[in-house]
Chains A and B, each alone.
Chain A
Amino acid sequence: MINEHGGVTRAAHVGEQLSGYLDGELTQQQRQRVRLHLEECAECAHLLEELTALRARTGESDLSGLGADRWRENMNEPGVALSRGLGWLLLIGAGVMIGAIGVFKFLTDPGLGAGWKILVSAFYLGWLGLFISVLRQRLIERRSDPYKDVEI
């Protein structure tokens, strides 16, 4: 767009498409339009040069400042994996044993009648059934969600 002074008005600049051009994210038609504009507009051509240099500078920088091996070492740290595995093993093992002893004591307790034992067992088995049902439903839902770890 040419203004009354013969210059290119701001509205005629390619704007954000300059970044798309720089990144190779434009369609062929858009690329052609930007290329033609750059041939005529020194301001946009200069801006493109600056943005290209800025992008290169950002790409060459080291914004993390940490060694590349740090993350691999951390993930493979044997102490972490061992203590985590041991922790889970103890927790699950002790839980199963305590539960088994409790059930055994309850079933062999001579002070409780068979009626009470059946009633209490039915109550806890009911809870267990509901828990398993909900857990199963959740597992099915999670299996069908590819981005289950992605939460906002």
Chain B
Amino acid sequence: MQDELAMLGNGAHALAIQILGNRDDAADAVHDAFARVLARPQAWDRKHGPLRPWFLRIVRNRCIDLLRRRRPAGGLVEELAATGPGPDAVLEALQRDRRLERALADLTPEQREIIVLRDYLDLAYAEIAAVLDVAPGTVMSRLHRARLALRKRMEQENDQ
């Protein structure tokens, strides 16, 4: 189970970043989720579905707990703005990622998390519904609105 969880670490971290807007808080949330799951691995029953959506839902809940306790000091945009671009040859892909991250940072948390769940983590709609605890029918409309918002924001990023 540890190996399966380790494979989910980066994806869970990406989701947590989009919810919390802060990389360190996001890493804390993922570590917390790992600790909880590893303390009681029997809590997950393979019969009830794949590990990934179940674990992502735990990570999301840890993020919500963290948000309730403290608001992030600086948003992702500020954090990313502090990460200046490096030499072009190495960092073309990185700059592309930064533009995407800045565009994502301008969306609402709900829009960010559904885009990460579908387009980054490649979850099926039913799995996304399980992670977000929403009706499966609402996933498509929420995702479409989020994509349109991201597309608009990316156009602005590319114009800059």
Q: Pick from A16-24, A33-41, A119-127 the stretch touching chain B.
A: A16-24
Q: In whole angstroms, what is the CA distance A95 to B41 when docked? A: 26
B154 interfacial by beta-carbon distance below 8 Å: yes
- Nearest Cβ distance between residue B154 and chain A, in whole angstroms? 7
Does A29 sit within 8 A of B, measured CB to CB? no
Tell me which residues across on chain B come within 8 A of A76, comparing CB atoms: 2
Nearest CB in chain B: distance from A105 CB, A = 35
Please, how many angstroms separate the alpha-carbon atoms of A127 and B89 in the complex? 71
Asked if residues B140 and A25 are in contact (CB atoms below 8 Å), the reply is: yes
The A-contacting residues of B in range 125-160, CB under 8 angstroms, are 125, 133, 140-141, 143-145, 147, 150-151, 154
* Contact-residue bracket for chain B: 35 or more
Query: Mask for A40-71, Cβ within 8 A of B = 1, else 0?
Result: 00000000001100110111011111101111
Main secondary structure of the interface of B (DSSP, over half): helix
From 3 to 27 in chain A, residues with beta carbon under 8 angstroms from any chain B beta carbon are: 15-20, 23, 25
CB of A151 within 8 A of chain B?
yes
Q: How far does the alpha carbon of A15 sit from the alpha carbon of B142 in the complex, in Å? A: 11
* A101 close to chain B: CB less than 8 A: no
CB distance from A82 to the nearest CB of B (A): 15
* Nearest CB in chain A to that of B98: its residue: A61
Q: Does residue B92 face the partner (Cβ distance < 8 Å to A)?
A: no
A97 sits at the interface (CB 8 A): no
Q: Given A74-B34, A152-B133, are A59 and B122 also a contact pair (CB < 8 Å)?
A: yes
Asked if B77 is at the interface of the complex by the 8 Å CB criterion, the answer is: no
User: Which chain B residues border A18 with CB–CB below 8 Å?
Assistant: 144
Q: Which residues of B contact A150 (CB under 8 A)?
A: 54, 57-58, 61
Contact of A58 among B44, B47, B100 (CB under 8 A): B100
Residues of B within 8 A of A (CB): 2-3, 5-11, 13-14, 17-18, 23, 27, 30-31, 34, 36-38, 40, 43-45, 47-48, 54, 57-58, 61, 64, 96-97, 100-101, 104, 115-116, 118-120, 122, 124-125, 133, 140-141, 143-145, 147, 150-151, 154
10 nearest interchain CB pairs? A71-B9, A72-B6, A63-B14, A16-B144, A58-B119, A19-B144, A64-B10, A64-B13, A146-B48, A16-B141
Residues of A within 8 A of B (CB): 15-20, 23, 25, 50-51, 54-55, 57-59, 61-66, 68-72, 74-76, 146-152
Listed A/B pairs (8) with beta-carbon separation below 8 Å: A15-B144, A20-B125, A20-B144, A23-B118, A57-B100, A58-B115, A68-B9, A69-B6
